A and B are shown apart, each in its own frame.
Chain A
């Protein structure tokens, strides 16, 4: 009788534990889709997609408004993407910034981007030329030598971060996005701009 009661008690305790466990498990936040074009969530100290979009938009506008992309003979410049140096404390994939810039520049119709050289290459440019040695391919359809177009301009940049401690113990993080267009023939910079972004938040934790 006593044994039976202990068993029943244990069963009851176990059921309560399982129930509490299930309740706790169901208490987590729900997953939500976000509108990447209109994300109104709280700002973060690190860089998020909104910062990259804002920086890229501002830079493109500045570049297109300048005369840098106006070629004297009316044709279009060939632009190669060079290095975008990440000098921040964030593990950023800088292609987040350059992909949008490349797309917007191409869509503007003011220049052509090359994927044959630079930091964002299409490996098939070289791979396709290796088919010259293959008997399996119709050699008339294989790219001839001397067809690749060399770039006229190079687009390089840097993202830099500076953290400052404020008197009230908070910290201010400043991000500097710098882009520069160089004429590869002369080595002269023909356009340059900088977008800065500031964030202020708790000083208790690291900003990454």
Chain B
């Protein structure tokens, strides 16, 4: 029993205070101190989460080579974490059940994987390494294809794991609660697609593809148009003129905050004798909190931009799909901790049980980790090359000179800091 207590305490200490660390990183990103944000992330644990944060901050700083080195490391970690499911990894399951999700390594979200390859493609484009940009775009496309299968399998695995432990948790019953209902069934774009991938692919194929890519370009462009209804994409881009594709990366994605929920014990369909004297049980799960952006509307050279990828929506949709899995895990964890507390009380007396109870309360924490450097949304404008001015509500946010067919990337941080990088596509 002593060993178990040490184990729980050790894992709890490791959990740390993630939220404030993310706040510090986000503040640096918000004020445009991208290199400071990178340094801050690199001083943290060398895990997937902080490597992703460092890679994104380095990209924002325009250090594309270093950014891709970090993204490569992050992708290796992402692949390693995803090649085994949580349910089949016994140590992770034990740690999750006895403490909380924070005790196991961050394994990334489905949209994280898609964005890793999309940003690598962007970095390679800025480095003018067109061959490797194509490879990364192919990877991003494959990740989107694989995403659709992911959640169905993950939820099924977690339900099976709960059954193996002797609990039959009817998640659909739990999901009927009005506050949870509001968060379920949210859809973004069809089949987990992020239109940003299609947009980068269109820009790439249009300017760096060959004659053999024309059918792929036509299909990708049609798909992108169907998802975004972008007016800029419908422009007749005459080859006589030079055009600038302006992509605006804006704001910050939703952060995860802790949410405590009370349930009646009746949700457990299996008979759990140890919980007979309880009427209500509590769990802590993460909930999304949208972060307002400094600017919501943009104008480029007098033309309104088109919203091409709504990350807020994508993240809400992914959360909605993963909610049954998050709930199942939290309920199983809560049930096991309650049983352990009850058994300790019987074997070792009430004082020990009291301390175990304290540990249980303290260890019931929601996993609020998230790759917070992801923006809130992406906007597109296609304008004739030359002086390109980005404005919002009448004020000039930034401008750049482009020559020939170009790609101009504006980053507008949560706090309104604007930076830009241009790339010649000819």
Contacts and interface: CB of A to CB of B under 8 A. Distances in A.
Interface of A: 85-91, 158, 161, 163, 165, 169, 202-208
Nearest to A171: B146
B82 A204 contact: yes
30 contacts: A85-B212, A86-B131, A86-B134, A86-B135, A87-B134, A87-B138, A88-B135, A88-B138, A89-B135, A89-B138, A89-B139, A89-B142, A90-B135, A91-B132, A158-B212, A161-B138, A165-B145, A165-B146, A165-B149, A202-B83, A203-B146, A204-B82, A204-B84, A204-B85, A205-B82, A206-B82, A206-B139, A206-B142, A206-B146, A207-B142
B178 to A, nearest CB: 35
B153 interface: yes
Given A204-B82, A205-B83, 8 more contacts: A86-B131, A86-B134, A86-B135, A88-B135, A91-B132, A158-B212, A204-B85, A206-B79
B210 interface: yes
Interface in B125-167: 131-132, 134-135, 138-139, 142-143, 145-146, 149, 153
Interface of B: 79, 82-85, 131-132, 134-135, 138-139, 142-143, 145-146, 149, 153, 210, 212
A88 B146 CA distance: 16
Contacts of A205: 79, 82-83
Nearest to B216: A87
Contacts of A206: 79, 82, 139, 142-143, 146
Contacts, number: 43
A134 B145 CA distance: 59
Most buried by A among B85, B132, B142: B142
A163 B145 contact: yes
A91 to B, nearest CB: 6
A203 B134 CA distance: 23
A86 to B, nearest CB: 6
A169 B153 contact: yes
A196 B83 CA distance: 26
B146 A91 contact: no
A208 B138 CA distance: 11
A98 to B, nearest CB: 14
Nearest to B140: A89
Closest 6 A/B residue pairs (Cβ): A205-B83, A89-B138, A89-B139, A204-B83, A206-B79, A163-B142
A158 B336 CA distance: 56
A120 to B, nearest CB: 15
Nearest to A178: B212
B149 A169 contact: yes
Contacts of A85: 210, 212
